[in-house]
């Protein structure tokens, strides 16, 4: 099967879409990706990809085609320009593509506008479209301060309705997304189904060498929605404990959080920046526990952060200050401790309970739950089957 993939983000940006595409190639499919020049999360085009470098390349068997991109930089205006740049450029690119693909697959993060190119190809060549939804629109706009009763929100609600209704099948990464689609767009039944994310193969259980300091690690994007300040304020309250908080990742909020850590005079916190995925897996192995936080927001409560799968695959206890589905999964798996989002005192209590817990048992529970619910092989098998149905 020949698959046309539309995704605004792709390797070397830190999203799982490239691993999904490479796995489809390993299954015997031919995969072409139309994407942008990498600039997430910092907003500047990556070194080595400027001036049209690597416009067309093959990465582990996947044919990658990059279209004109203006970096997202910082702020709502630049992000909007970035979104529309890709939407227009990718739509123009697919115009010249021949009727040679069996199905179109959208790996939909923000913005939902990235789907426009897929819809254009679908309509021109009478093909089917499968959309995998990881970010909810228009409600994702509220994370950036857009009000639900605003003209901007209502405009994108209409756009989102049209885009989602154009998909022949929608797969969602969180069970709570199904209720959202039913209530917001009247999309339900066979038109939508749950397919949770998985963790890359590099994440496997390892026992940590004993030492006097308890290592708690966060890895991933560092922006406003991650509520890293909740961890920093908890670290301040735990400054006399033998705990070190390690942060690996980059993002728009990094400089501000470093400044906050300095302001609070935190000697038990360290920011290491973005590191390769394989190195992230090694840092997990060196940790006693892994931590996840999100802002207190209804949209985020419906989401299920992909880092939780990698935490579970690594066989480590999870500490969370989160709401909704993510908290329910930690509870169901019996793999850690959680409190509500942005609850500093609750997080301190969770960490204290974690310090007294049987960490090996919690880690084993995490890995067991991962193997039962989030295996990569199961994900690819399901995705391939759904694509074949639409062929």
Domain boundaries, the chain: 2-198+375-390, 214-373
Task: Walk across the sheet containing 289-293 and list its strands.
Answer: 269-271, 243-248, 214-219, 289-293, 318-321, 336-339
pLDDT at 145: 86
pLDDT at 211: 76
Q: What span, in angstroms and rounded, lies between the C-alpha atoms of 197 and 20?
A: 10
Q: Which residue, among 13, 61, 62, 53, has the nearest Cα to 34 in the 3D structure?
A: 62
**How much of the chain, in percent, has pLDDT values that exceed 90?**
92
> Per mean pLDDT, which range of 34-38, 142-146, 338-342, 361-365 is the poorest?
142-146
pLDDT in tens, 209-249: 677 899 999 999 998 899 999 999 999 999 999 999 999 99
Does 2-198+375-390 match 214-373 in CATH topology? yes
Identify the sign of the CA torsion 311, 316, 322, 323: positive
Per the document, the length of the chain is: 391
Q: What is the CATH number of domain 214-373?
A: 3.40.50.2000
Res. 84: pLDDT tops 80: yes
Average pLDDT over residues 268-285: 95
Q: Which residue, among 69, 94, 91, has the nearest Cα to 82 in the 3D structure?
A: 69
Res. 311: pLDDT tops 80: yes
**How much of the chain, in percent, has pLDDT values that exceed 70?**
99
Res. 50: pLDDT tops 90: yes
Indicate the burial class of 157 (C-beta count within 10 angstroms; 0-12, 13-18, 19 or more).
middle
**344 pLDDT tier (thresholds 50, 70, 90):** very high
pLDDT at 74: 84
Q: DSSP letters of 286-354?
A: T-SEEEEE--S-HHHHH---THHHHHHHTT--EEEE--HHHHHHHHHHT-EEEE-TT-HHHHHHHHHHH
> Per mean pLDDT, which range of 87-96, 140-149, 183-192, 230-239 is the poorest?
140-149
Q: What span, in angstroms and rounded, lies between the C-alpha atoms of 391 and 380?
A: 16
pLDDT in tens, 110-158: 999 999 999 999 999 999 999 999 999 999 999 888 999 899 999 999 9
pLDDT at 85: 96
> Is CATH 3.40.50.2000 correct for 2-198+375-390?
yes
pTM for this one? Answer: 0.92
116, two tokens: 């426009």
**342 pLDDT tier (thresholds 50, 70, 90):** very high
The mean predicted confidence, pLDDT, of the chain is 95
> Which residue would you say has higher pLDDT here, 75 or 249?
249
Q: What span, in angstroms and rounded, lies between the C-alpha atoms of 367 and 373?
A: 10
pLDDT at 212: 86
């Amino acid at each position: 099967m020949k698959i046309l993939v539309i995704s605004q983000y792709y390797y070397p940006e830190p999203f799982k879409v490239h691993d999904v595409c490479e796995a489809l190639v390993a299954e015997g499919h031919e995969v072409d990706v139309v994407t942008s020049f990498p600039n997430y999360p910092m907003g500047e085009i990556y070194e080595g990809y400027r001036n049209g470098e690597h416009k067309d390349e093959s990465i582990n068997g996947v044919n990658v085609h990059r279209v004109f991109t203006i970096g997202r930089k910082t702020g709502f205006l630049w992000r909007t320009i970035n979104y529309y740049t890709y939407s227009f450029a990718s739509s123009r690119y697919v115009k010249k593509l021949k009727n040679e693909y069996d199905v179109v697959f959208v790996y939909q993060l923000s913005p939902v506008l990235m789907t426009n190119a897929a819809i254009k190809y679908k309509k021109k060549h009478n093909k089917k479209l499968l959309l995998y939804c990881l970010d909810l629109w228009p409600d994702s706009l509220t994370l950036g301060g857009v009000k639900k009763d605003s003209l901007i929100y209502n405009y994108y609600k209409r756009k989102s309705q049209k885009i989602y209704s154009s998909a022949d099948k929608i797969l969602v990464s969180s069970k709570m997304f199904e209720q959202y689609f039913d209530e917001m767009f009247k999309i339900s039944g066979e038109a939508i189904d749950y397919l949770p994310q998985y963790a890359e193969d590099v994440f496997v259980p390892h026992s940590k060498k004993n030492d006097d300091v308890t290592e708690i690690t966060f890895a991933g994007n560092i922006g406003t929605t991650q509520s890293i300040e909740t961890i920093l304020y908890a670290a301040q309250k735990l400054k006399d404990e033998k705990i070190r908080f390690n942060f690996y990742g980059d993002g728009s909020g990094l400089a501000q959080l470093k400044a906050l850590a300095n302001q609070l005079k935190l000697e038990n916190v360290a920011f290491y920046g973005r590191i390769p995925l394989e190195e992230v897996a090694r840092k997990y192995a060196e940790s006693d526990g892994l931590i996840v936080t999100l802002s207190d927001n209804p949209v985020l409560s419906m989401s299920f952060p992909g880092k939780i799968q990698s935490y579970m695959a690594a066989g480590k206890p999870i500490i969370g200050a989160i709401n909704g589905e993510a908290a329910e999964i930690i509870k169901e798996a019996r793999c850690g401790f959680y409190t509500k989002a942005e609850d500093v005192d609750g997080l301190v209590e969770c960490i204290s309970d974690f310090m007294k817990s049987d960490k090996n048992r919690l880690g084993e529970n995490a890995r067991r739950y991962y193997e039962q619910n989030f295996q990569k092989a199961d994900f690819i098998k399901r995705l391939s089957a759904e694509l074949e149905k639409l062929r």
